[in-house]
């Protein structure tokens, strides 16, 4: 991670197909395409790779979340349970539909705590949205049981975890809907792009229409298509899809590299005083996009990350102080700083996060250091990095 590290001839060839035809839009212009339909081809390849019935490409991971929620009929006043540790896109996608993000604690998986989820359910709850942060998954079996018990939708945000599995199923396909991001820093990239995956025919049809202004895509004349319901423009371009098509074909190679590099670093840190590792739920295998480990307390974690960075070990993140990924700095959400007025349901139902107690999340995220696993490292670089990390962390702890 990320896939752009290994751009090569395959990506150039796919993009050149689009440039040679001159058709950059995924719909229409059939006669000019020279048989190239990159978005359609990537959707088919993605569905096959993920062993799922349907894939709908969109313009970003954020768009994927919005489209997935809309495809299931989520709207104003509906509550969506999400974790305190995620990217801001999680609550942005919810608010875009007038729905209400309900934050709950994470546990030692660094994802949704099922016990906290149970306590947060109200009569307005419609969706549980685990976010498989930094390459590993939530306790999906427990969350699915909760959804079945309360008749809720399970929507997996797998934007950072393509290639991970749970009980033999690819992450993103265990629930009712799954979402992926293919932005520039993901394991496979389109430059900008995302996808919704599902086995539900109706959700796929809704996602297809909603992401293209409500077009029903019936027939071969785009101008004659009807609009069964309102939609918006979340389309991906053929250029972006072309890059993703080449990258998806290389996914297994990328995952193998990630696992090898991850394993080298983890082996070096096992046994270092004070270091323990994030829990991967039984039956799961992470994507190895990040090495996530805990220090004994927040102060030691912060000092450790600072020491790693100052000594040239880049890509090690301390999320607790991060502006984008942890609730403590989400002042634009907690204070509802919006350019326009939000739906009244948001004002009425959004919890007062200024008074919320997320000390359980603080306990885990405050102790966490996440190290990005790069694809472009040589074996010599990985081995050297592992030894230096062990030395630096050992000196701090």
Give the separation between CA 98 and CA 273, rounded to whole angstroms.
47
Q: What domains appear along the chain, each with residue ranges and CATH number?
A: 3-250 (3.40.640.10), 252-396 (3.90.1150.10)
State yes or no: cis peptide before 2, omega within 30 of 0: yes
Q: Tokens for 348, please give them.
A: 């009425």
User: Rounded to 5 degrees, what angle do the CA atoms 197, 202, 208 make?
Assistant: 60
| Global pTM exceeds 0.95 | yes
Provide the pLDDT for residue 352.
93
pLDDT along the chain (397 residues), means of 10: 96 98 96 96 98 98 98 98 98 98 98 98 98 98 98 98 98 98 98 98 98 96 96 98 98 98 98 97 98 98 98 98 97 96 96 94 98 98 98 94
Residue 270 near residue 120, CB atoms below 8 Å: no
Provide the pLDDT for residue 1.
87
Q: How many CA atoms lie within 13 Å of 92's alpha carbon, on the beta-carbon side?
A: 14
Distances (CA, A) of 106 to 100, 109, 117, 373, 378: 19, 7, 9, 23, 35
Provide the pLDDT for residue 94.
98
């Amino acid at each position: 991670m990320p896939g752009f590290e290994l751009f090569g001839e395959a990506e150039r060839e796919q993009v050149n197909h689009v440039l040679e035809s001159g058709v950059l839009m995924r719909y229409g212009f059939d006669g000019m395409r020279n048989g190239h339909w990159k978005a359609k081809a990537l959707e088919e390849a993605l569905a096959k790779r993920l062993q799922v019935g349907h894939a709908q490409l969109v313009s970003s991971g954020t768009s994927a979340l919005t489209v997935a929620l809309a495809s299931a009929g989520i709207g104003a006043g509906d509550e969506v349970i999400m974790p305190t540790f995620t990217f801001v896109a999680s609550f942005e996608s919810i608010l875009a539909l007038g729905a209400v993000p309900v934050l709950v604690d994470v546990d030692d998986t660094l994802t949704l705590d099922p016990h906290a989820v149970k306590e947060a359910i109200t009569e307005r709850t419609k969706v549980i949205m685990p976010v498989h942060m930094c390459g590993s998954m939530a306790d999906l079996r427990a969350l699915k049981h909760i959804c079945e018990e309360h008749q809720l939708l399970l929507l997996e945000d797998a934007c950072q975890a393509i290639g991970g599995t749970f009980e033999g199923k690819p992450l993103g396909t265990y629930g009712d809907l799954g979402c992926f991001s293919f932005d520039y820093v993901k394991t496979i990239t389109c430059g900008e792009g995302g996808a919704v995956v599902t086995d539900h025919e109706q959700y796929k049809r809704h996602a297809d229409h909603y992401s293209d202004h409500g077009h029903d895509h019936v027939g071969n004349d785009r101008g004659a298509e009807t609009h069964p319901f309102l939609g918006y423009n979340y389309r991906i371009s053929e250029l972006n899809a072309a890059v993703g098509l080449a990258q998806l074909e290389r996914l297994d190679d990328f995952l193998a590299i990630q696992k090898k590099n991850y394993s080298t670093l983890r082996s070096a840190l096992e046994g270092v005083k004070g270091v323990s590792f994030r829990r991967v739920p039984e039956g799961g295998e992470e994507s190895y996009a990040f090495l996530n480990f805990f220090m004994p307390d927040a102060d030691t974690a912060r000092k450790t990350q600072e020491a790693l960075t100052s000594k040239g070990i880049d890509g090690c993140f301390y999320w607790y102080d991060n502006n984008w990924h942890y609730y403590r700095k989400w002042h634009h959400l907690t204070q509802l700083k919006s350019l326009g007025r939000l739906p009244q349901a948001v004002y009425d139902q959004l919890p007062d996060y200024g008074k919320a107690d997320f000390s359980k999340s603080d306990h885990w995220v405050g102790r966490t250091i996440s190290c990005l696993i790069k694809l472009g490292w040589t074996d010599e670089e990985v081995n050297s990095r592992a030894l230096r990390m062990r030395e630096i962390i050992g000196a701090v702890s």
